[in-house]
Every structure is written in C-alpha cells, then in structure tokens.
Amino acid sequence: MIFLLISSFILGSVSTLVITNVTVDLNSITTIQLSSAIEYILIYPNAEAINPYTVRAWSADATSEYPVLLVVRQERQVSSWTLPILLESSQNSNKTFQFSNSSKTLCHDHMESIINSAHPNFSIDPLVLKQMFVVALSTSSKNNVTVNVFLEEEQNFYMNLDETYTVQVSPSQSRFKYFPVHQNVSDTVIIEVTSPDDVCLTVSVQGPHCPVMDSNKDIKYEGIYQTINKKGAITIAKRQYPSGFFLVFVAKPDDYDCSQQNSIIPGMTRFDAIMDNTIITTITFEIRNNITHYDFVLVVIGTLLVVLAFCTICTILVCVCNRYGTISRLQAREKCEKDYITPISNDEIDCIVTAKELTLEKFAKFPKRIRQRAFNYLSHTGSVALFYSIPVIQLVITYQRVVNQTGNQDVCYYNFLCAHPSLGVSDFNHIFSNIGYILIGFSFVIAVADRHYRIRITKSGIPVHYGLYYAMGLALSIEGLLSGCYHICPSQSNYQFDTSFMYVMAVLIMVKLYQNRHPDINATAYSTFSVVGVGIFLAMVGILSGTLEVWIIFLLGYATLIIILSFKIYYFNFVMFGFKKLYDQYKDKGVCKEIFTPIKRCKFFTYI
C-alpha cells in the first residue's frame, strides 16, 4: 500500500513538469517564461554559414538561489551555463559578482575542416557547412522567470593582417576570433590591444581547436594569456601556431589583477556578499607583422659592432696616452692643514730626510698594506659577483621556463610592444641592450691594466690604488650581466637583481673619491662590503614592505648615518673636542649662556 502511494506521488510530480518544444528563427529575440513546472527546448533551423554563432541570454527575474540553466547542444559539442552568472572576486573568494546578461560564442562544428582547407591565402568562400542548434532552458524557481534568448551570426570572425577590429566584452560575455596563418605572415606577429577605460581584462591566444576556454575560470588553462588594462600586446611566433589561432577576450569582474595591490598588499578578508555588476568595455585590436628574423639578426650584429668599435677606440686612446705621458701639472707649494698629528718612527724620519725628492707616497705609513687593501676590493667584488650571479641566473631561467610552459605572461613585466622573443627568451632585445655595460667594463679593466703595467712607479702625485679601478670595471660588467638577468623576467620580486651592483659601483666610487682626498687612509673591503650588504638589505625591506612606517624609520636612520659619516670624514676630532670642552665648562660653570655661545659666530651660521 505504501509502495503504491509513493509511486503515485512520484508519477504525480513528474506529470506536473511540462516540456515545450518551440521552433524559432535565427537572428530573432525569443522571450519565454519558465518555472519549475515548465521547461523549454528551442529548436533552430540549420544554419548554412561559415561563421560561428553567438548565443545571448538575459533575464531580470532570475536569482542566484534559483538560477536558469541553459544548455546549448550542437552536432559535436555541448555548452552550458547558468543565468545569472556568478563570478568570484580576484581579490577575495568570499566576494561574488552577479551578472544578469550572458553571451557565448559557439565553436563551429566543422572548424577543423575550415582550417585545413587547401585554398591559398585561406579562401573560405567555396565552403558551405551546416550547423544545428538546440537550446534547452530550465529552472527550479516556483515563480515565473522571464528569459530572452537571441542567436546571431558572429561577424568578422576571420581576421586579416593590418586591419582594426572592435568588440565589446564583459565578465559574462566573452568573445573570440580566428586568425589564419598564411603566406603573407612573417616569422612573428604582434597583437596590439587598446581599451579606452580601466576595465581589467584577459587576452588569450589558443590553438584552433574546440572547445575554446573563454571564461575567467578556465582561460588560464590553454595557450598564452595576458592581463591588460588600457594597452597591451602579445607577440606570437609563426611556428607556435602554424594552423592559426583563436584570439579570446574576457573581462574580469574587478580590477584587482590590474592594480598595484595585487603584488604588494595581501587581500583583505570580507564577509560573503553577492553584488550586481554591469561591467562592459569596448576593445580595439590589430594584428600586424613583426620584423623578420633576418632584420632582427642584422640589427643585433650592427649594434654589437658599434659598441665594440666605441670600446676599441676608447681603449686605444687611453693606451696611447699612457705611453706618451699625461698632461703636465704645475707644481706649487700647497698649505697642508691636518686635523691631528700622529707620531712616526725614526726609520720613517730617516727615509724622509735622506730622500732626494719628497713625494706624498714617502709620507704614507703603510704603502704596501694600502695597496693590498685596494686589491682586496677586486677579490671581494669578484667573490660577491660569483656567488650572487649564480642563483640569480638560475632563478630567472626558471621564471622564463614557467612562462614558456604555462603561457602566463603576467609573471614578467615586459614592454610587450617592444619585446622580441628569440633564443628561448621572451624579450631578447632588452637583454641584449645591456651588452654595452659589459663591454665598457672590460675596456675599462684593459685600460687600467695597461696603465698599471706602464706606470709602475709614480715620482709625484697621490698613490694610485689600481685595485679599486679593477673592482670598478668588474662591477660595471657584472652590473650589465645582472641587468640582463633582470630583463629575462622583470618583475617587482626580482627588481633588486638590477640595482644591487649599482650600490656596489656607487660605494666603490665613493671610496675612490675619499682615497683621492686621503691617500694613506683607506677603508677595508670587509667593512665596505658590510655597509653595502646593509644597504641592499634595507632596499629589500622597502620592496617587500613599502609602508609609511618603514619610510619614516629609513629616513631617520639615513639622516643619522649621513651626519655621523660627515663628522667622521671631515670634523670628527673637532666635534669630539667640542663635546669634551662643553663637558668641562659644564663641570666648572654649570648651565650658563657661555656654554652654548659659538666661538666663531660667522662660521657657525655658515655651517648651519
């Protein structure tokens, strides 16, 4: 008895569902009302068109709790989605955007036959291929839901070179086009995309096969893709897609992926929310030929020859000057003003007294030790360059492999309009542009070596620290190498690869300038590179956490360091003597006006 009651209840429930078949026309809007008791199946006539079709559906009554389910059946594939479409925020998965309008371009059932057509220059006019479409709509809502459906032919689906196209896309309305690769296409083509607004969108290049990944969730799983805000470009090699490619456009539900917050600020946790959104943008794009491989090689060789010629001429001029002497200097008596006097030994006094010509090198206390300290800079620079460059090269090559394997061009921040891929890297020309640093650094080292060999003993002038010069030339070459490594995959996380040896060069130049002023005083390479390490560490902290607090601490520390170094280099003993005198006056007289009165008032205000 119970079995009969359950059976009758099930049959009664099933009998309340009404499935209505409706034959509709192409390129016409069909309006229907759905509920949990009514389902519609829209049957379209066969379309004899070479272009694919786009299904558009929208509803103001559909809700996220009881959405409308759309299923589009073709001869060889099935597509389905819900209305409204719910998309998660790129910043926070708890935030959801709701879109009441939707559209989907259906892949042509005979796309493979169209691509493989043997007609020259991809002439598709003689082909006539039929397409069938059946659209099923259903919902679980007990209330009536009004839905509008429109099936239209996609115009300008097959693109040509040097022609400008315009499409409208939104997060729920993606578009894609097909570009055939024919005889007029060069080795590489550039896809240039522009948008008049700040809507964040994704551009993808995929192989010419169905189905097409054209939603925000699955567009990253096929081909090459790039996030674009207002302007972007993708360079495609002809060998990558010999049969042509699909160019897919889809907008993102928010602008987080196109903002700076994506890389430096972690996402904030928010409560679950569903927000209506009507994002839509108009995209203009063009596909044009890039330079040929022959032209590219010609430009590279020409640039290399120009840089080599410049370095060779400069090196020869320096070597000639080393052999024929330098500009004569007027020897004048100069007043020597010392901060303090240090005692010297009897042997040093005898050496100075018995010398026929007194030079600055005679007064140096430890000339051999000073020269050895200078060459310590060269060995330390080479060691730092070796152990710093090896992991850097390994890391950026790994980044490049990730870009090549995943197709994610958002990993690296290239200038895509100027980037030219070659030799397995995405931006060879910007890497090669650093060849000047390397060659000029080598030329500088050769010039220093020639001067070091020709002018071994100086009878006048300040002692020459050749080790510092060698270190400066090596640092310049390593800077070019690391700058090239940075341009393999430039991003915010590896920006320091390009700037680290800039700090080294700056410090070496400062040490050399200080050595020109104080020839017999030279900081050790150990302490100098320790200071460089602290500076690079502070730069790393600023990159990872560039907050206001970090900037305040950095500026205070920087100002304090500058004051201490200024006292140390120029006025350290006078300052210490002044503090001692201030303390003695305080002990004798206490706090009074004379303690804070400057001895030389004019110079005091000048220093301030």
Do 582 and 475 share a structural domain?
no
Minimum mean pLDDT range among 17-26, 99-108, 197-206, 560-569: 560-569
- Residue that finishes a domain, picked among 525, 557, 575: 525
pLDDT band at 118 (very low <50, low <70, confident <90, very high): very low
Q: Poorest-confidence range of 203-217, 315-329, 394-408, 526-540?
A: 315-329
- In percent, the amount of the chain with pLDDT more than 90 equals 11
Residues 280 and 176 placed together within one structural domain of the fold: yes
Alpha-carbon distances, residue 506 vs 138, 387, 389, 489 (angstroms): 70, 20, 19, 25
Distance CA 237, CA 461 (A): 60
331 pLDDT exceeds 50?
no
Q: Provide the CB-side half-sphere exposure for 90 (13 A, CA).
A: 19
- CB distance 480 to 438 below 8 Å: yes
Q: Indicate if 33 and 167 belong to the same structural domain.
A: yes
Q: Are residues 497 and 561 in the same domain?
A: no
Q: Do 274 and 385 share a domain, yes or no?
A: no
CA 558 to chain centre: 29
pLDDT, tens digit, for every residue of 512-526? Answer: 877 777 666 666 777
d(CA 455, CA 359): 16
In a domain? residue 206: yes
In a domain, 571, yes or no: yes
pLDDT at 575: 61
pLDDT at 569: 59
Residues 527-576 pLDDT 10s: 778 878 887 887 777 777 767 787 888 888 878 877 776 666 555 555 66
Number of structural domains (the chain) is 3
Residues 138 and 275 in one domain: yes
Shared-domain flag, residues 309 and 224: no
Average pLDDT for residues 373-385, to the nearest whole number?
82
Q: What is the model's pLDDT at position 36?
A: 85
**Residue 249 banded pLDDT, cuts 50, 70, 90:** very high
Q: Tell me what pLDDT residue 420 has.
A: 85
272 falls in which pLDDT band (50, 70, 90)?
A: very low
174 DSSP 8-state letter? -
Residue 438 is predicted with a pLDDT of 92
Looking at 468, 492, 525, the residue that finishes a domain is: 525
Would residue 312 count as lying in a domain?
yes
HSE-CB for 433 with a 13 A CA cutoff: 11
User: How distant, in Å, are the alpha carbons of 315, 452, 591 from that of 449?
Assistant: 11, 5, 61
Give the domain extent around 578. Answer: 547-608
- The Cα 470–Cα 45 span in angstroms is 81
Q: Above 80 in pLDDT, residue 137?
A: yes
Q: Say whether both 436 and 487 belong to one domain.
A: yes
| Residue 426 pLDDT class (50, 70, 90 cuts) | confident
Same domain, 269 and 391: no
pLDDT at position 306, please? 92
